[in-house]
Amino acid sequence: MKILLATDGSEHAEVAAKFLTRLDLSSSDEVTVLHVTNWVPFQDDMESHYKSLKYFKEQISPKILDASVNILKPVKAGITVAEEEGYPDLAIMDVAARYDTNLIVVGAKGIKGITSFFVGSVARSVAINSSKPVLVVNAPMEEMSGPIRILFATDGSDSAASTASLLASIPFPEDTELMIMNVVNSAISDIPERFFFEISDKIKEDVARARTAEFKMSKKIIDETRPYFSRRFKKIDSLTKIGDPSIEILDSAEILNADIIAVGCRGLKGIKGMLGSVSRRILSHARCSVLIGKTGAS
């Protein structure tokens, strides 16, 4: 597996590097540590001031890369470094495409990240616009212990299938726990239950039949997903919920104390890699790490 780890030297970037040490990476895997130097905020008419800033950043860049490389010393994968200039999000996506990366790994926030669970602008831009799968790591380093718990939300789409294939290819430890989740967005979910008593017996029967069919379909989606993981994970559970997908997924992740929520992009047709509304909400509000799979990604 080819992994691109983007770092800006921040604590969140180091957390992303630390996460990679939890994987069972082998000598056949490759990790490229990338630092992008961004000159744009430092435009100035004073040429000497600009040169001074440029020189300072050039001196700091190797130190930033070394910090992440040192964290990655325990891993068996081949480690290389890369430096680029430009807008960080665009450079990350360009390098990922150039290196034919299988997975981009970024910290949830950068240097100026606020103390909250909201994803920073660079991580968000890469997750939304990249044609490659993206793992946005959002977890305090001290909490990285014990089995990795993954909540994989599937709707049976091609996007979900691509994400399942990606999950099965990542070298997670043997004790990793996987929960396959499907959310039934029921046709009657927008009717408060207290009003059910006011409808006729005929409607109640129709509602019951619809609910039975919805759960049957949910089971089918989950059952069709299991083969992706049967040879990869020893502990696999399943979960069906009814309601708004983003709310149910986020709530379930909190209850399960998930380390990663994995979802497909499921965006607009014809726009490769573009995120749909559910994956955007999860990316914006999840307190844990989020893995965004991309349809057709190599």
CATH number of 245's domain: 3.40.50.620
Q: Which residue, of 140, 171, 195, is where some domain finishes?
A: 140
* Residue 187 and residue 292 share a domain: yes
* Residue 208 and residue 181 share a domain: yes
* Residue 109 and residue 31 share a domain: yes
Q: Report the DSSP pairing between strands 134-137 and 289-293.
A: antiparallel
What's the pLDDT score for residue 270? 37
- The answer to whether residues 159 and 264 touch, using CB atoms and an 8 Å cutoff, is yes
- 8-state DSSP, 118: P
* Residue 273 and residue 195 share a domain: yes
Q: Which residue, of 140, 172, 192, is where some domain finishes?
A: 140
Q: Which residue, of 140, 169, 187, is where some domain finishes?
A: 140
Domains of the chain: total? 2
* Residue 57 and residue 96 share a domain: yes
Q: Which among 211, 181, 213, 185 is positioned nearest to 196, based on CA atoms?
A: 211
What's the pLDDT score for residue 37? 84
What's the pLDDT score for residue 121? 84
- 3-state helix/strand/coil string of 166-193: HHHHCCCCCCCEEEEEEEECCCCCCCCH
* Residue 264 and residue 133 share a domain: no
Q: Report the DSSP pairing between strands 103-107 and 235-242.
A: unpaired
Residue ranges making up the domain that contains 232: 146-298
107-153 pLDDT per residue, tens? 987 555 444 445 678 999 999 999 999 999 987 655 667 899 999 99
214-239 pLDDT per residue, tens? 889 999 999 999 999 988 899 999 99
For residues 114 and 124, what is the distance between their CA atoms, to the nearest angstrom? Answer: 14
* Residue 136 and residue 88 share a domain: yes
What's the pLDDT score for residue 217? 93
* Residue 129 and residue 164 share a domain: no
* Residue 133 and residue 150 share a domain: no
* Residue 195 and residue 226 share a domain: yes
Low-confidence residues in the chain, pLDDT < 70: 39-58, 110-119, 140-144, 186-204, 266-275, 296-298
What's the pLDDT score for residue 189? 60
pTM as predicted? 0.85
What's the pLDDT score for residue 271? 40
* Residue 2 and residue 115 share a domain: yes
Give the tokens for residue 257. 């104390």
* Residue 95 and residue 5 share a domain: yes
